Chain A
Amino acid sequence: DVKVTQSSRYLVKRTGEKVFLECVQDMDHENMFWYRQDPGLGLRLIYFSYDVKMKEKGDIPEGYSVSREKKERFSLILESASTNQTSMYLCASSLPGRAGYTFGSGTRLTVV
């Protein structure tokens, strides 16, 4: 069964910390995405990548960066965590031009 694995289900970090959220897929997908999900706001795209070492800003990239050194791994970095980054973070992958995204189970991040 194809999988997208997010390293943590729950994470609690302090304000100002640098936070790494890891996402690994085993489907040899070119496309990978990071979304955040907040009540009443739905899913919002933070960053995405169509290839190794390639990244594109989504709709809300401020305060975030990403890294894609290997095809299967896409990391989301919060440079200096703030309380307004408390959210559910969802990673997804897909093949170019093909049907549907495969999502990970999500990481619920709380910044205190």
Chain B
Amino acid sequence: SQQGEEDPQALSIQEGENATMNCSYKTSINNLQWYRQNSGRGLVHLILIRSNEREKHSGRLRVTLDTSKKSSSLLITASRAADTASYFCATDYGNNRLAFGKGNQVVVIP
């Protein structure tokens, strides 16, 4: 089954810095989504970008999608300690079924 793969796997940054993580996938998608998971909890939907979109913003989040390279990036600007979490990309490969990557651990140091 298709799966997104995040890179880097772990990121440690100072509060106020920007955090960037990437996701690659293998086949055509309808859309790509990013989720956040705080330790031991469920996932929270952050943002969705459709296959015909190249960039999308939501608050401090910026997502890009390059379908020719089959990759996406998530940028969190001006990070806060509360942004410490795992971030997952998920690809919609039809019928609203999502395939999740393994996740990317981000630690924001106050």
A108 and B40 form a contact (CB under 8 A): yes
Q: Which residues of B contact A48 (CB under 8 A)?
A: 97
Beta-carbon contacts under 8 Å, B72-103 to A: 88, 95-103
Provide the bound-state CA to CA distance between A55 and B66, in Å: 34
Tally inter-chain residue pairs, CB-CB below 8 A: 53
Is the pair B97, A43 in contact by a Cβ cutoff of 8 Å? no
- A50-B94 Cα distance, complex, nearest whole Å: 13
Q: Mark A87-102, 1 if CB is under 8 A from B, else 0.
A: 0101010101111111
A100 CA / B43 CA spacing, docked (Å): 11
B44 close to chain A: CB less than 8 A: yes
Q: How many residues of A contact B (CB 8 A)?
A: 28
At the interface, yes or no: A103 with Cβ under 8 Å from chain B? Answer: yes
Whether the pair A99, B45 counts as a contact (CB closer than 8 A) is yes
- List chain A residues, Cβ under 8 A from B96: 31, 94, 96-98
Min CB–CB distance B48 → chain A (angstroms): 5
Q: Chain A contacts of B59 at CB under 8 A?
A: none
User: A105 touching B42 by the CB < 8 A rule?
Assistant: yes
CB of A101 within 8 A of CB of B101, answer no
Distance between B94 CB and nearest chain A CB, rounded to angstroms: 11
With A31-B96, A101-B98, A106-B42 known as contacts, the answer to whether A42 contacts B1 (CB < 8 A) is: no
Given A48-B97, A97-B96, A100-B48: A42 and B102 interface contact (C-beta under 8 Å):
yes
Q: Which residues of A contact B (CB under 8 A)?
A: 4, 31, 35, 40-43, 45, 48, 50, 58-59, 88, 90, 92, 94, 96-106, 108
Besides A4-B42, A31-B96, A45-B1, 14 other A-B contacts (C-beta < 8 A):
A35-B100, A41-B102, A59-B1, A92-B43, A94-B96, A96-B96, A98-B96, A99-B48, A100-B33, A101-B43, A101-B98, A103-B35, A103-B43, A108-B40
